[in-house]
Amino acid sequence: MGDRDFPAGEFGANGPSAARIYHYLLSGEPILEVDRLHAEHLTRIAPHGGVLAQHNRNFLQRAVTYMAERGVRQFLDIGSGLPTAGNTHEVARAVAPDSRVVYVDYDLEAVHRSHDLLAAQGALGSATVLEADLRDPKYILDHPDVARLISHDLPVGLLVVAVWHFVPDSDRPLEVMATLREWLPPGSCVAMSHLSLDDVDPDFRARAVAGMAEYNRVVTDQATPRTRAAFTEFFDGFALVEPGVVYAPDWRPTTAPDLRPAAVPDLRPAAAPDLRPAAAPDPADVARQGIFAGVAIKP
């Protein structure tokens, strides 16, 4: 199969999904053969995809650690994806074993796999996963499992990491964000990241644009990059913590491996992916500029 002839629309509901493509880029584990084929096809067009995914995942882990070290003990992780090494509950529990987590995704494979992992770890009492759509925040916030695991009297750690680029302006993402912000108790934290083509060098831009066009041609979750200014609007009403909105690898980088040891038994069947700070194929690491990230506090 050449670079330009990956069939679009042939797979219907069984076509590549954002959750499964991202999982493959991170872990090398294809859920469906079509994911492997499409991810490899994409990687030929834009070879930085895997590094970008790893930068993003490492940011998520550092942000969860930051929140847990601030005392946050309850997390709402929307668009949580398929479980992979260093999931939110594992990272949070490495700091605070009593941390509670509600995962949310609209991808059924992500929901089922997350449920299976939590069940295998005996963690379903203090963590759960909902099948829900970020664009219907009231359904999520009013869900009985959210009430069961998240006290409205205590700060919450909200994660919407690498998800907003799947929500086009026509779905009013800033209104969704305002609903989430109003619901969050004072002192809560939010961590978000977003694909962007700002600042990228011309070669990377050409590859990234081509990769995104190809992605959107085949994957049902259409991705729309936003500028840094547009992404920063999602933090309106919050106080950004230092260093503000920056590229994901620049958000409080650590020299230690980002993957925290799990505080619960690791029963994952797949080989553990290496999520240490990304070893970029290119020493200039152009992919570091592909995704903005930030963490903020609700006053």
CB of 282 to ligand SAM, least distance (A): 22
Residues 106-125 interacting with ligand SAM (rule: CB under 6 A): 106-107, 110
Q: Which is nearer to ligand SAM, 170 or 186 (CB)?
A: 170
Torsion (CA) 181, 187, 189, 190 in degrees, nearest 10: 10
Of the candidates 30, 79, 157, 294, which one interacts with ligand SAM according to CB under 6 A?
79
Per-residue DSSP letter, 233: G
Q: End-to-end alpha-carbon separation of the chain, Å? A: 53
- Is 102 a binder of ligand SAM (CB under 6 A)? no
Using CB under 6 A, pick the residue from 19, 31, 150, 259 that binds ligand SAM. 19
Enter the DSSP assignment of 91: H
Region binding ligand SAM by CB under 6 A among candidate stretches 128-136, 229-237, 274-282, 289-297: 128-136
What residues between 229 and 268 interact with ligand SAM by CB under 6 A? Answer: none
- CB nearer to ligand SAM: give 116 or 153: 116
Q: Which long-range contacts (CB under 8 A, 24 or more apart) does 276-280 make?
A: 277/58, 277/249, 277/253, 278/51, 278/54, 278/55, 278/58, 278/249, 280/51
- Rounded-to-integer distance, Cα 154 and Cα 172, Å: 28
Among 6, 15, 16, 22, binds ligand SAM (CB under 6 A): 22
Contacts with ligand SAM by CB under 6 A lie at: 18-19, 22, 56-57, 60, 79-81, 105-107, 110, 133-135, 161-163, 166-167, 221
